[in-house]
Amino acid sequence: MAKRIIVIGANAAGVEAASAARKKDRTAEIILITQEKTAGYSRCGLPFVIGGQISSFNDLIVYPPAYFQMLKLTLKNETKVTAINTKEKTVTTADKAGSTETLPYDSLVIATGADAFMPPIKGREKQGILSLRSLEDGEKILQAVQNGAKSAVIMGAGLIGLETGVALIERGLKVTVVEMLPQILPQMLDADMAKLVQEHLQEKGMCILTSKTVEEFLGNDKVTAIMAGGERMEADLFISAFGVRANTKLAVDAGIPLGETRAIKTNARMETDVKDVYAIGDCAESLNLITHKPTCAQLGTIAVRQGKVAGKNAAGDYSLFTGVLASAVTRLFDVEAGVTGLTEAAAARAKIEVVTGVISSKTKADYYPTAKPIKVKLVVEKESQRIVGAQIIGGEEVTQRINALSFAIQKEMTVRELAKADTAYAPPLCETWEPMVLAAEMVLMKLR
């Protein structure tokens, strides 16, 4: 009898899992269940539709209905999984019409993602607080802009908050970003590197207020202002970008254990502590490749890699997920920012003693007319001299340098080895001395 694989969630992780399962098992019945109206779209692209670089939210649909038909995947849209029974090996669903169904499974993949987080702020039940997590969220924000919103307050200066802020400025809005911590991009960059990005954003007209906590949402039924750091701020649009939390309710109700990070605990096969049940993407825990401690780095790149591993295993193959460095990049106006591995702050939290090297250089020969500035920071474990992290801020060419340093960390390269790297040069493309190599030499000077 054909095996039945059920995947809860049909975005990056879920669709990748179903596709990988189908490649392994041509006969299995594979069912994807999602609460959303649209499956298989890119969440990462939402700010760029709001900003106008991408013309329509429909352009973000990576997997159209024809894809699911081609791979013989059964897709149940606008359907909620209400319960998982791991003893009976069933899931119970309810569709938008209220019809319920109980489906047995042989393998189950949980890809329930994460939900926008709202701290317990006074007045948070009021209407008019938007977040950016789904296509519908994006449509609401864009609709508000098209309805004439002139100003926005964004609460949170992480990646989504800043990318949304840039998008709204590009639409002509006056944008204020309020961040509780003393710096922007606190998960991604150290304070010295974040300062460069903040200065660039402020030059472009973004008002950034750090070390300010949102204390209250003001207004009758609808929010018209907030109190933050004792100051009243009015706006037409209020966007919650406080971060996200793993959506683990189904797992918890089913008795599937969570890990240290409060995401679903998994092993290297992305299997939970319950046999034949896997968890992937923003709701799942995995290991940090450097600290070997559990982490829940909620990135699309990680979601698809975990999905591929879990999908293969759910279909009877054997595949392992080695762990994460949480490499990430973004572009904010004319500046690119990237990270891989540990920041200096994360290394300190993990009790790893590090030495850092920072260099400011150019992306092309200094005399070349279109050369742009670039700054590279390397984080190196003092004892072993291994590279454990890197951050780069520049006008261009950040992504592939971050990727190269990600390879270096995964291969446990030492800073001494990086300093001897054989790199390419041409005036319109790069400097004679590669900035990554110069940063390595700065570390070596400190180690001497």
Q: Active-site positions?
A: 44
Give 7's DSSP letter: E
**Sign of the C-alpha dihedral computed for residues 133, 107, 62 and 284 taken in this order:** positive
CB 429 within 8 A of CB 364: yes
Contacts of 335 (CB under 8 A, 6+ apart): 196, 197, 200, 393, 394, 395
The CA distance from 133 to 70, in Å, is 28
The CA distance from 448 to 430, in Å, is 28
Q: Rounded to the nearest 10 degrees, how much is the dihedral formed by the CA atoms of 285, 289, 292, 295? A: -30
Q: Give the bridge partners for 6, in sequence order.
A: 31, 108
**Sign of the C-alpha dihedral computed for residues 31, 33, 37 and 40 taken in this order:** negative
The CA distance from 23 to 207, in Å, is 49
The amino acid sitting at 275 is: K
Residue 403 tokens, joined: 């990727």
CB neighbours of residue 422 within 10 Å: 6
77 closest CA partner among 141, 30, 33: 33
Give 58's DSSP letter: G
70 closest CA partner among 136, 15, 149: 15
